[in-house]
Amino acid sequence: MAFEKKGTNDHGIAHLVRYTVTRFGAGFISASLVAMLVGVLIGLSPLLYRSLNPFIQVLKPISPLAWMPLMLYSVQDPTWTAILVVFMASLWPTIANTAFGVSTIRKDYLQVASLLQLSWWRRLLTVILPAAAPAIVAGLRISFGSALVAVVPAEMLLGELGVGYLTWIEWNNLDISGVMFAILVVGVVGVILDFGFNRLARLVSYAE
């Protein structure tokens, strides 16, 4: 196994990691933006929360991989399907945590915001999001974990290049040490990305 590409059976770890991280990043970031938006809206509106909650409850426990055939059929493209699987895996924990964080903001913070007559946007940016930030980041972190779990089998099943693909191709090569190495690569990628999350969590956390 080489670092750089060396023929069709060895795409190079660097490239495989890059494929996975790019695919993962696209799905995770887009899902996080959607989830935070939906989370803020349902966190602010009890009506919206009660009307959307049954749907969320039904959709949440579905394994992201279960969406794969439907998505493959819809978008007809394995790369986009893999991104969408990551998207589905990253959506729910962030929605739930954002809604929780926003709906449990201390009342006096909101009272200050209304005293200061902040516009809806300023209120969102200067009070609601910072107040809910620790809960949101906790949600992102859970989403992140489940997305990382989903991206590996998605790559295996779709035959998309990436670290998940690496484990499978090494199995096909009957190279057990290669398989073990590939598993380790998945673990290391996860640790590095999680480290970034730790920094982010520290940045937005606050003591009451």
Phi-psi region of 31 (alpha: psi -120 to 50; beta: other; left: phi over 0): alpha
Question: Which of the stretches 39-47, 82-90, 96-104, 113-121 binds another protein when contact is defined by CB under 8 A?
Answer: 113-121
In this complex, which beta carbon is closest to another protein, that of residue 115 or of residue 191?
Answer: 115
| Residues 115 and 166: beta-carbon distance below 8 Å | no
Please tell me the distance from the alpha carbon of residue 144 to that of residue 186, in angstroms, as a whole number: 14
Distance between CA atoms of residues 169 and 166, nearest Å: 5
- Amino acid identity for residue 83 in this structure: I
- Our CB check for another protein shows the closer of 12 and 130 to be 130
Q: Which of 109, 176, 188, 198 binds another protein (CB under 8 A)?
A: 109
A 10 A CB-CB count for 54 gives 9
CB of 47 to another protein, least distance (A): 16
Q: Does 208 bind another protein (CB under 8 A)?
A: yes
In the complex, what is the shortest distance from the CB of residue 118 to another protein, in angstroms, rounded to a whole number?
A: 6
Build a one-symbol-per-residue string for 48-87: x at contacts with another protein by CB under 8 A, - elsewhere.
Answer: ----------------------------------------
Q: Which two tokens stand for residue 148?
A: 């990382």
Residues between 168 and 207 with contacts to another protein, criterion CB under 8 A: 204, 206-207
User: What would the two tokens of residue 31 be?
Assistant: 């899902």
Q: Which range, of 53-61, 87-95, 107-115, 192-200, touches another protein by CB under 8 A?
A: 107-115
- Find out whether 88 and 64 touch, Cβ atoms under 8 Å: yes
Give the nearer residue to another protein in terms of CB position, either 112 or 192: 112
- Write down the least CB distance from residue 94 to another protein, Å: 20
CA distance 186 to 50: 39
Residue 115 interacting with another protein (CB under 8 A)? yes
135: exposed, middle or buried (C-beta count within 10 Å: 0-12, 13-18, 19+)?
A: buried
The b/e string for 25-41 (b: 16+ C-beta within 10 A; e otherwise) is: ebbbebbbeebbebbbb
Options 14, 29, 112, 192; binder of another protein; rule CB under 8 A:
112
- Smallest gap from Cβ 193 to another protein, in A, equals 25
- Decide: is 114 part of the binding site for another protein (CB under 8 A): yes
